[in-house]
């Protein structure tokens, strides 16, 4: 149980285009989802916390107008990278926390974004 999926697993796009990444909790309801970014040989850095039905909370230094997050249902959150640039190329990982409120996060497999 507690499986989180991400789609796509990898994407290559041209500079200036927008890319949407989906994060789904497959067998549980997630009131909270988290979006992380990981650069090569670096740790995961939290970008934003997404609560179902409300606006996402962004970490300091993360542009909310560039990284649009929507958490429209208890099983789906999306991250849209708008007007992507090569420096946005990274590994994006989501995680989901169950509605029971425990602190355990379940992580998705990640999405590799390459912006040309």
Partner 1 sequence: KQEVTQIPAALSVPEGENLVLNCSFTDSAIYNLQWFRQDPGKGLTSLLLIQSSQREQTSGRLNASLDKSSGRSTLYIAASQPGDSATYLCAVSGNTPLVFGKGTRLSVIA
Q: Quick one: 44 or 68, whose CB is closer to partner 1?
A: 44
Find the binding residues for partner 1 in span 52-71 (CB under 8 A). Answer: 59
Q: Is 92 exposed, middle or buried (0-12, 13-18, 19+ CB in 10 A)?
A: buried
Answer for which of 43, 54, 100, 101 binds partner 1 (CB under 8 A) is 43
If one asks whether residue 114 binds partner 1 (CB under 8 A), the answer comes out as: no
CB 81 within 8 A of CB 67: yes
Nearest distance from C-beta of residue 82 to partner 1, angstroms? 23
**Local structure of residue 102 (DSSP, 8 states):** -
CB 46 within 8 A of CB 34: yes
| Continuous segment of H or E residues that includes residue 20 | strand 19-25
Q: How big is the site for partner 1, counted in residues (CB under 8 A)?
A: 22
If one asks whether residue 110 binds partner 1 (CB under 8 A), the answer comes out as: yes
**Interface residue list for partner 1 (CB under 8 A):** 6, 34, 41-46, 49, 59, 91, 93, 95, 103-110, 112
């Amino acid at each position: 149980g507690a499986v989180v999926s991400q789609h796509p697993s990898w994407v290559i796009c041209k500079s200036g285009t927008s890319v949407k990444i989906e994060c789904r909790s497959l067998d549980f309801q997630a009131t909270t989802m988290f979006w992380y970014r990981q650069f090569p040989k670096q740790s995961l850095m939290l970008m934003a916390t997404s609560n179902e039905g409300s606006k996402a909370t962004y970490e300091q230094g993360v542009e909310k107008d560039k990284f649009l997050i929507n958490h429209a249902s208890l099983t789906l959150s999306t991250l849209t990278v708008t007007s992507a640039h090569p420096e946005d190329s990274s590994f994006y990982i989501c995680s989901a926390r169950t509605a029971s409120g425990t602190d355990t996060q379940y992580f998705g497999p990640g999405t590799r974004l390459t912006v040309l």
